[in-house]
Structure 1
């Protein structure tokens, strides 16, 4: 059976496009969780992401932490995520910024193996299928998957992960799917329990991972999963934004 993140590239739920919230001309809000009320429901533009064959789901709740509202993801031998469907040209908004925190990494987590393909926290960026960069077989397979599901199917993905032992800033191919690349933004427990603000250049990371410029972004999600390792952990997610390059969020 295909791993959950491999399956998401083949059987993504129906995309519901909606306008992004504008902070100012040079940045867009993907998830403004700090404006939400703890204990309430998530905004309609954030959809649950579950997977066939996986009955135990990560529990996502809005909580108050250090004076602001954030998402708490409690995962106990479970897997599911939350995703925001959108359409953004990464050439226009190449920089993604988010905030995250974890209780601890997964002891058996290993980004290079199927048995260890779990993460205390991850930010997922899905990209449109680019037929010009695909082989005949890949085009045929993608067309069949889209026809069977009657949905738009992503062609590639970047996973920004808080890894267990992968070297920081390393990029690894997902053990289940070559078009899903794992970028180890953090690794290990050294910074566990602290809020970290991350900033990444999506275009630069995609070029390094795939050797070509990225197609259109069609979804950004969060996920804490522990079903492969069978362990438990809690991840936390703050606001997610994307920026034009000259905004210089660094």
Structure 2
């Protein structure tokens, strides 16, 4: 039995199924943490202040904020809600945004993916734009249909350009990187204290970091967890991101 694997908190979605309310995280995130990152994932139920507390955070060496089919509620960034912003998960919002802020307050390593990337921006005072595929000169970032096999849905379909000298470039190198894409919302106004770490060719902000963070604090709009969960050899950039996050969690624990 391995005894030196730090605990990493994982955000959850609230779902209704068979007459019950479930709090769940997608398996690919958990496998990427347990595999390439080399940490122990712990799912945090979306119960707001009941779980985001000193006891939980004191036990953690990192936080992963996952992607989801739901979107951050526009009220949280002073936008008028429309059908285009749906669907929502208010229970998740009430938990993941405080979890992000507390992680940063405590210098916990933080990795935020897709919805998590957008949540990080909102937590720092930024805003989001929706249905970006309908805007002039923007590509369709929605990716494949949910009915497609996963390897097709999460296939690489465009390039991102890491910011020279940034955290992501340190992990992956400064050359353009092929990534997948499964989102229709994106960062609009960048949050306070955030730095752009990568962009797509249409200007979409694909990665961000917390500028003054003492530890790893990175958000990515794509889904490295899909490929990292398959094997460490499936996609080198995806694996490198999770290994770097795992290294940061171990350094925090030590």
Greater fraction of residues in strand? 1
Greater fraction of residues in helix? 2
- What TM-score results when the alignment is normalised by the length of structure 2? 0.34
Q: Relative CO higher for 1 or 2, CA cutoff 8 Å, sep ≥ 6?
A: 1
